[in-house]
A and B are shown apart, each in its own frame.
Chain A
Amino acid sequence: MSPQEVLDHADQLRRGLGVDFRDRMVTSLYEESRRIAARVVRRRGESSWDLDQRIDRIVTSPVWGLPLMLLLLAVVFWITIVGANYPSEWIARLLFSIERVGAALFEALGAPGWLTGLVWHGVWRSLAWVVSVMLPPMAIFFPLFTILEDLGYLPRVAFNLDWLFHKAGAHGKQALSMAMGFGCNAAGVISTRIIDSPRERLIAILTNNFVPCNGRFPTLIMLGMLFVGAAVPPALASVAAAGSVVAVVLIGAVFTFFVSWLLARTVLRGQASAFTLELPPYRRPSVLRILYTSLIDRTAFVLLRAVMISAPAGAVIWILGNIHASGASLAEHVARSLDPFGRALGLDGVILLAYIIAIPANEIVVPTMLMVYTGAGMMTEAGSLEELRRILVDAHGWSLLTAVCLMLFSLLHNPCGTTILTIWKETRSARWTALGALMPLGFAFLVTFLVASAARWLG
Chain B
Amino acid sequence: MTGFLSLLFLLGGLILLLFAPRLGLVPRWRARRLRRERAVTEDGLKHLLLYSLRGQPATQESLAGSLRLSARKLVRLLARMEAKGLIHSTAGHIELQPDGERRAREIVRAHRLWERYLTDELRTPLEKVHSEAERAEHTLSRERLDALEAHLGHPLRDPHGDPIPLANGSITEIQARQLSDCFAGEKIEVVHVEDEPEFLFREILALGLRPGQRLQVLESSPEAVVVWDGERRLRLTLPEAANIHVRSAPDLAVRPPGTIPLDQLPELQPAEVVEIDPEFRGLARRRLLDLGLTPSATVVAELRTPFGDPRAYRVRGTLVALRNDQAEHVWVRPKEARVET
Contacts and interface: CB of A to CB of B under 8 A. Distances in A.
**Same assembly:** yes
Given A15-B154, A22-B153, A60-B303, A279 B287 contact: no
A-B complex: 10 closest residue pairs judged by Cβ atoms: A163-B307, A277-B321, A27-B294, A279-B319, A26-B289, A274-B284, A62-B306, A272-B121, A274-B287, A274-B283
A431 interface: no
Interface in A45-71: 48-49, 53, 56-57, 60-62, 65-66
Contacts, number: 117
B257 to A, nearest CB: 23
Interface in B189-213: none
Contacts of B305: 60, 65, 159-160, 162-163
A274 B289 CA distance: 12
Contacts of A116: none
B302 interface: yes
Interface string B283-316: 1111101111011010000111111111010001
A172 to B, nearest CB: 8
Q: How large is the interface on B (under 10, 10 to 19, 20 to 34, 35 or more residues)?
A: 35 or more
Given A19-B278, A276-B321, 19 more contacts: A15-B154, A19-B281, A23-B289, A26-B294, A30-B297, A30-B316, A34-B316, A56-B302, A160-B305, A163-B308, A166-B310, A272-B282, A272-B283, A273-B122, A274-B283, A274-B284, A275-B326, A280-B319, A281-B319
A289 B65 CA distance: 69
Contacts of B326: 274-275
A21 B153 contact: yes
Contacts of A53: 302
A14 interface: yes
Contacts of A197: 283
Given A60-B303, A162-B323, A166-B309, A30 B292 contact: yes
A60 B154 CA distance: 42
Given A65-B305, A162-B310, A275-B310, A48 B340 contact: yes
21 contacts: A19-B156, A19-B278, A23-B289, A26-B289, A26-B294, A31-B294, A49-B341, A56-B302, A56-B319, A57-B303, A62-B306, A159-B303, A163-B310, A271-B122, A272-B121, A272-B283, A273-B283, A273-B284, A276-B320, A278-B321, A281-B319
Q: How large is the interface on A (under 10, 10 to 19, 20 to 34, 35 or more residues)?
A: 35 or more
Contact of B306 (A22, A65, A280): A65
A26 B290 contact: yes
Contacts of B91: none
